[in-house]
Amino acid sequence: MKKVILSLAIIASVGFTSCKNDAKQKTETTEVSNEIANASLSFGVRGNCGMCKQTIEKAANAVEGVATATWDVNKKKIDVSFNDAKTDVMAIHTAIAASGYDTEEVSSSKDAYSGLPGCCKYDHTMAMNQSGETVAD
């Protein structure tokens, strides 16, 4: 239990870090729930920084059936594991779009996008699902 609290504190502190520090942001943090995953997928999601990462992962994890969600700021890509009896791919795309972020399949909600912090207002023409290496720190 202490480990869970500690990791939540780490996730929170990463989330509150300013956008200017994203080059040094850890790319390994993952939102975790108690779901049992039997399926996984990866798809492109646009975004700029560590704050975007937190919003995107939180949105994906809020979908019932999602076990883990990890967004990579360099690849503009999310890896999701989920229980396919409880959710499906489009529900995950839709939840992320509703939080303000474009996915490969669903364009972001305009209202949610306009509510993002200035530094998170990513370019809608940004290439996503890139194959580059994950930058470790």
Sign of the alpha-carbon dihedral angle for 50, 52, 56, 61: positive
For strand 66-72 and strand 39-44, is the pairing parallel, antiparallel, or unpaired? unpaired
Task: Tell me the closest approach of the beta carbon of residue 46 to Cu ion, in angstroms.
Answer: 10
Task: Tell me the closest approach of the beta carbon of residue 76 to Cu ion, in angstroms.
Answer: 12
Q: Which residue is nearest to Cu ion (CB)?
A: 120
Task: Tell me the closest approach of the beta carbon of residue 8 to Cu ion, in angstroms.
Answer: 20
Terminal CA-CA length for the chain: 27
Q: Around Cβ 19, how many Cβ atoms within 10 Å?
A: 15
> 6 vs 115, which CB is nearer to Cu ion?
115
Binding to Cu ion, residues 19-58 (CB under 5 A): 48-49, 51-52
Task: Tell me the closest approach of the beta carbon of residue 58 to Cu ion, in angstroms.
Answer: 13
**Total residues binding Cu ion (CB under 5 A):** 5
Per-residue mark of binding to Cu ion, 115-134 (x: CB under 5 A): -----x--------------
Helix, strand, coil percentages (3-state) for the chain, rounded to 5, are: 35, 15, 45
Per-residue mark of binding to Cu ion, 70-109 (x: CB under 5 A): ----------------------------------------
Give phi and psi for 20, each to the nearest 5: -70, -20
Residues forming contacts to Cu ion in the complex (CB under 5 A) are: 48-49, 51-52, 120
